[in-house]
A and B are shown apart, each in its own frame.
Chain A
């Protein structure tokens, strides 16, 4: 079972060039899961005790506010990660995440992996590099989206 998960970790674009040792460590905390279309993967405010890598399918990140329709602020597809809130306190989800179609995810237990990172800082650093990259891109995209560049008002 673990060998299969280790292969999945190694093949996932997010973990490209990770190496077998680290892949083994991560797969020890990992599990496979499937989410049906319309099912929620996570809910805003809940503890982020697991993070997810999208293997196949699509997940929409949603925010809600009273008097407003639900707004999708980002969609994550194959190769992307959901997300970085497991790394630092308060370890809580900042949005809802809903599967748009039948979606296969690799779930990684947050506490399990945090403990391993505390014990092996090299593992922690490799993970940190990848998460910071993904979060940086997400931030950049969010800024562009917030600018409403296609809107009528002057930028």
Chain B
């Protein structure tokens, strides 16, 4: 038995009973975290503040397909027996509305004062492998570039992450293709794998950081046996083999960047409503806009940043017109950015294979299918005019 002060280290694999989950929530609350976990909201599994384990969608699962999402009862009481819903963790780390500063007129000039983010550490329960990658991707955007988003950095540093290895692949999931899951590998403080057999309901608990070790040490736990570790590995393997979708990414970046006039873009555009759902649910989309406003007196002004989408018509507005006027151009921008340009900008794909954009598209556009079609049928390179025919 490992006692509470024995120094659990990152990498330690433990086992806890299902009931201990409540104690985990309590431990986090007592350390000052606001705990956010999956919860049923309006017929979907969203992320919201919880204090009781019962608030999670225990015994529920989701059925996802292109343009389709509904919940069903499971025949067991799995705590995490579902895939991801419309929410992602970006709404907490990079909130959809954020006040940046306010200003006040003074004489002929004005004075500006920055707004500080609320100092409320968050604990995320149930972060999937794809979501860990998405958070790392947004870290690269907001914290690892030449300009730093300080508010994001603060929230990120304070966040406590309890990851979960998926025991069920979603109908639109393709993390295996994107090499972002289903196994949780890094970027967590604690990671859970649900072990649910006839009769027993426990969790493999893996320690991912010293602060995670600290919290784990305060819970009743014991070292995992080899059998339990193998059982957890089987859960992950089973999920990996049950992916709802796949995307072969070989040659995809070049194909998308080199085929801006592919007819597939027109076909997609004929269906796309430019509703921006995909960008809202995508865990890596980070575009925002700035709203500068003033009050009725004209003395006080403020600047707010809020989420924006490249699908909106005036996203690319300059000089009296929109650069990307057609839906076709906007869809092409989103997909090419996500699957191709992102590599040039941030050194990785922008897509983590979570499938949300497929599920939540009202017309069921499937990014894996559009991308594959373009990559598999590239337009032949055009000659530059002197093809030397005699």
Q: Is B321 in the interface zone, CB < 8 Å from A?
A: yes
Q: Is A154 in the interface zone, CB < 8 Å from B?
A: yes
**A35 → chain B, closest Cβ, in Å?**
40
Give per-residue flags for A125-155: 1 if the beta carbon is below 8 A from chain B beta carbons, else 0: 0000000000000000000000000000111
A153 to B321, CA, bound (A): 10
Interface of B is mostly: loop
Closest B residue, CB atoms, query A152: B320
Number of A-B contacts (CB under 8 A): 6
A73 to B59, CA, bound (A): 79
Q: Which residues of A contact B319 (CB under 8 A)?
A: 154-155
Chain B interface residue count: which class? Answer: under 10
Q: Which of B307-322 contact A (CB under 8 A)?
A: 319-321
A153 to B319, CA, bound (A): 8
Q: Which of B326-385 contact A (CB under 8 A)?
A: none
Closest A residue, CB atoms, query B321: A154
Closest A residue, CB atoms, query B322: A154
Closest B residue, CB atoms, query A153: B320
A155 to B318, CA, bound (A): 11
A154 to B320, CA, bound (A): 5
Q: Which of A92-114 contact B (CB under 8 A)?
A: none
Closest A residue, CB atoms, query B319: A154
Q: Which of B130-145 contact A (CB under 8 A)?
A: none
**A114 → chain B, closest Cβ, in Å?**
32
Give per-residue flags for B282-324: 1 if the beta carbon is below 8 A from chain A beta carbons, else 0: 0000000000000000000000000000000000000111000
A101 to B90, CA, bound (A): 69
Q: Which residues of B contact A154 (CB under 8 A)?
A: 319-321
Q: Which residues of B contact A155 (CB under 8 A)?
A: 319, 321
A153 to B320, CA, bound (A): 7
**A47 → chain B, closest Cβ, in Å?**
39
A155 to B319, CA, bound (A): 9
Q: Which residues of A contact B321 (CB under 8 A)?
A: 154-155
**B184 → chain A, closest Cβ, in Å?**
51
**A155 → chain B, closest Cβ, in Å?**
7
A154 to B319, CA, bound (A): 6
**B93 → chain A, closest Cβ, in Å?**
38
Closest B residue, CB atoms, query A154: B320
A105 to B380, CA, bound (A): 50
**A78 → chain B, closest Cβ, in Å?**
30
For the complex of A and B, the 6 pairs showing the least CB-CB separation, nearest first, are A154-B320, A154-B321, A154-B319, A153-B320, A155-B321, A155-B319
Contact surface of B with A, Cβ cutoff 8 Å: 319-321
